[in-house]
Amino acid sequence: VAGAATFEPLVDLKGEIMNMAKISESGKKQRKNWSSVWTVLTSDQLMFYKDKQEIGLKPGGKADVLQLCGAVIEWNTEKSSRKNVFQITTSTGSEYLVQTDSNSTASKWYDAIKKTVDSSTKE
Ligand code: I3S
């Protein structure tokens, strides 16, 4: 149905552990502090959960929820010495670094997030 909300991810990706550091909040720089998070992608959001048990619970939990509409995703080699780092900048000016040592896992998530950014931005 045209215009109906869908929560099916374009690419089914959920519940993988990655490292995440939020480096700015609404345009304000924050101290980099890496943490391990369970990462879930939906049709228009990316969620970072500290606790696997919280995946699938209603919003309002402790997850970091990024709206991907209007976001930008780019590989980044400057802001960390770690490998396979990409940065997501949301339309509200928050910046997140995401990283995992596995090249293929990082590429898979990068590609899926990019697709989701593109599709949710043109809607
Ligand atoms: O950009 P920085 O300051 O080199 O980032 C490092 C810091 O976040 C560091 O925390 P402390 O400032 O508490 O030492 C982290 O432990 C490092 O992992 C950060 O560097 P990398 O290159 O891992 O992002």
- Distance between CA 14 and CA 6 in Å, rounded? 16
- Distance between CA 32 and CA 68 in Å, rounded? 21
Q: What angle do CA 40, 42, 47 make, to 5 degrees?
A: 40
- DSSP at 101: S
φ, ψ of residue 52 to 5 degrees: the values are -55, -35
* Assembly ipTM: 0.85
- Cα–ligand 1 centroid distance for 33 (angstroms): 7
- DSSP at 71: -
The whole-number pLDDT of residue 53 equals 81
The whole-number pLDDT of residue 97 equals 98
- Cα–ligand 1 centroid distance for 122 (angstroms): 36
32 lines ligand 1 (CB under 6 A): yes
In the structure encoding, which two tokens stand for residue 107, read together?
A: 């590429």
Question: pLDDT tens digits, the chain, 123 residues: what are they?
Answer: 444 444 454 555 667 899 999 999 999 999 999 999 999 998 899 999 988 888 876 665 678 999 999 999 999 999 999 999 999 999 999 999 999 999 999 999 999 999 999 999 876
